[in-house]
Amino acid sequence: MSTLAHFLPSHARTRPDRPAIRLDDHVLTWAQLDDASARAAAHLRAEGVRPGDRVAVMLPNVPHFAVLYYGVLRAGGVVVPMNPLLHAREVAHYFADSGAVLAFVWHGVADTAQAGAVGVDTRVVVVEPAATAALLAGIDPDPDVHDAADEDTAVILYTSGTTGAPKGAQLTHHNLRSNAVTSQETLASLGTDEVVLGALPLFHAFGQTCALNTVVVAGAQLTLLPRFTPEAALAVMQRDRVAYFAGVPTMYSAMLNCPTAGDYDVSALRQCVSGGASLPVEVLRAFEERFGCAILEGYGLSETSPVASFNLPDRERRAGTIGVPVRGCEMALRAADGTVSAEGEIGEIVVRGENVMTGYWNDPGATALAIDADGWFATGDLATRDADGYYTIVDRKKDMINRGGYNVYPREVEEVLYEHPAVAEAAVVPVPDALLGEEVGAAVVLRPGATATVEELQAHVKAALAAYKYPRRVWLVDELPKGATGKILKRRITAPDVPATSSVAGAAGAAGPV
């Protein structure tokens, strides 16, 4: 099998009537998913889409995403997944940079997509469930699946743009197929009759590989959740007897702190995976104790398809680490001078293997900066490695706080804050300081009904860490800004300019430099 789309006709032959994709009462069997994607491929070919052409898919977590995603791959096109919450200016960048000839856009954001397409050679096709289903029903399915080469680009995934304009990571058919197979193996060989909760956005690398593509490899069932709330996720877990869940740390924290969590029967849940950001150890342990399942923490980026390392089910699991490199992937740590970091020393994670992108679309300069001549991709993430090969994230290179010449790693401070019984979420960020250059700041969300003062939180950190590490600025907020996957967006957090005060629960925004 050269592409992920080749799995569809195979499953349609062996398990035609088994559910493949579900959204509430709407279910697509494997036979129906195969048929619908074959009709989508026929439609694309009729519209002039040729192998290698880019086709954007700007949809939420609905069955049409899978139909069109695999339809594009069947036709030999390159999928450009897009967040339906993008603004017109961002849409224009994606369309123009990728050179997408066609864009399938959810009806609820059609106006934004049309505005972004002005002056760009991208034709927008509005996806409305009933009308699109009727359109495909009138097209004869084309059973042919384009036999792409392993090295051909299958998907262009745009990075979040934290270091500038989003760049398109070119992922090949081999990258995606290998990483989906690896993910299926990581989920203790996900079986054909088991259910995976698709709460992560499918346009994002994590949800696309660890939910959608992993289910397609396994022939299992994906039950979709278009918008995550802890109550909605727990209700779907109960209804569909979900066995596997892939999520980001804020999702685990939200479910753990959900006041009605005890009302749901999620006893079928046996394994979870966490990625996208570091999962606080206290959250991991509390979630496992409450819900009776194991969480395997891993690591990856869009540029690595995304999975690079995991705490594997057949090896010792070490809480707080990102595990060991997955099959087909090498990892190492490099010091600032380019040498290999010694055991226990902090270095930048570099990755090489069959999961690493071929480069950034139309950006050879950025590609050369990211991937060296030996194929090592520089991630920008700092970590340590122990004697057994387990990696522990310290922080992003660009997130590190330089406080008067002392390096402070936000992850370390956040871990301590999460140990405080009143803290639900915390984000440690640099705050400009005239004397030291940068000061340590912390935005904190308290648990429902909990109270804590700024001084109490600061004292809690001071008792655990060196004096230069504790946050001199702490402010309480009702919520932290998050991206589409639920990842905390630190770049949107700024310290409020207010005098020192003793804050209590509900006084969002209060701060107190010490």
Domain with residue 462: its CATH number is 3.30.300.30
pLDDT digits (tens, 9 = 90+) for 219-252: 999 999 999 999 999 999 999 999 999 998 889 9
- For the cut 80, the answer to whether the pLDDT of residue 512 exceeds it is no
Instruction: Rank 70-74, 190-194, 278-282 by mean pLDDT and report only the highest.
Output: 70-74
Q: DSSP for 38-98?
A: HHHHHHHHHTT--TT-EEEEE--SSHHHHHHHHHHHHTT-EEEE--TT--HHHHHHHHHHH
> Distances from the Cα of 81 to the Cαs of 54, 57, 63, 184, 426, in angstroms?
10, 5, 14, 22, 30
> Of 106, 125, 148, which residue is a domain's last?
148
> How many domains in the chain?
2
Quote the pLDDT of residue 1. 58
Question: What mean pLDDT do residues 44-65 have?
Answer: 97
Q: Per-residue pLDDT tens for 429-441? A: 999 988 788 899 9
Q: pLDDT, tens digit, for every residue of 369-392?
A: 999 999 999 999 999 999 999 999
Provide mean pLDDT across the span 191-201.
Answer: 93
**pTM of the predicted model, to two decimals?**
0.84
Q: Please report the pLDDT score of residue 409 as a whole number.
A: 81
Nearest CA among 121, 104, 95, 40 for reference residue 73: 40
**175's tokens:** 């990258």
For residue 496, which of 471, 513, 514 has the smallest C-alpha distance? 513
Q: Which of 122, 148, 174 is the last residue of a domain?
A: 148
Question: What was the pLDDT predicted at 450?
Answer: 95
pLDDT at 514 over 90: no
On the CB side of 186, CA atoms within 13 Å amount to 34
Domain enclosing residue 427, as ranges = 400-492
Q: CB of 248 within 8 A of CB of 283?
A: no
Q: Evaluate if residue 139 carries a pLDDT over 50.
A: yes
- Quick one: pLDDT band at residue 161, thresholds 50, 70, 90? low
Reply yes or no on whether the pLDDT at 160 is more than 90: no
Domain boundary among the residues 148, 170, 205 is at 148
Residue 420 lies in a domain: yes
Determine, yes or no, domain membership for 67.
yes
Average pLDDT in the 98-113 region?
97
The pLDDT of 455-462, averaged and rounded, is 95
- Tell me whether residue 66 is in a domain: yes
Q: Are 117 and 91 in contact (CB under 8 A)?
A: yes
Tens of pLDDT, residue by residue over 65-94, are 999 999 999 999 999 999 898 889 889 999
Confidence at residue 507, expressed as pLDDT on a 0 to 100 scale:
28
Max Cα distance, the chain (Å)? 71
pLDDT single digits (tens) 318-368: 999 999 999 999 999 999 888 888 888 999 999 999 999 999 999 999 999
Q: Does 315 fall in a domain?
A: no
Burial letters 378-395, b for 16+ CB under 10 A, else e = bbebbbbbeeeebbbbbb
- CA 21, 25, 31, 36 dihedral sign is negative
Distance CA 82, CA 236 (A): 25
Whether pLDDT at 266 is above 60 = yes
Average of per-residue pLDDT across 194-204: 95
Residue 392 domain-assigned (yes or no): no
Task: Indicate whether 203 belongs to any domain.
Answer: no
Mean pLDDT confidence for 34-51: 97
Please, how many CA atoms are within 13 Å of residue 329, restricted to the half-sphere of its CB?
28
Is 210 a domain residue? no
Task: State the Cα–Cα distance between residues 267 and 287, nearest whole angstrom.
Answer: 13
- pLDDT number for residue 407: 76
Average pLDDT of every residue of the chain: 91
Confirm if 198 and 212 have CB atoms less than 8 A apart. Answer: yes
DSSP assignment string, 383-436:
EEE-TTS-EEEEEEGGG-EEETTEEE-HHHHHHHHHTSTTEEEEEEEEEEETTT
- Tell me whether residue 424 is in a domain: yes
Structure confidence by residue, pLDDT tens digits, 204-226:
999 999 999 999 999 999 999 99
Q: Which amino acid is at 419?
A: E
Instruction: Specify the pLDDT at position 164.
Output: 58
Task: Supply the DSSP string of 186-247, one letter for each residue.
Answer: HTTS--TT-EEEE-S-TTSHHHIIIIIIHHHHHT-EEEE-SS--HHHHHHHHHHHT--EEEE
Least confident of 196-210, 349-363, 400-414: 400-414
Q: CATH no. for residue 91? A: 3.40.50.980
| Average pLDDT of span 400-419 | 85
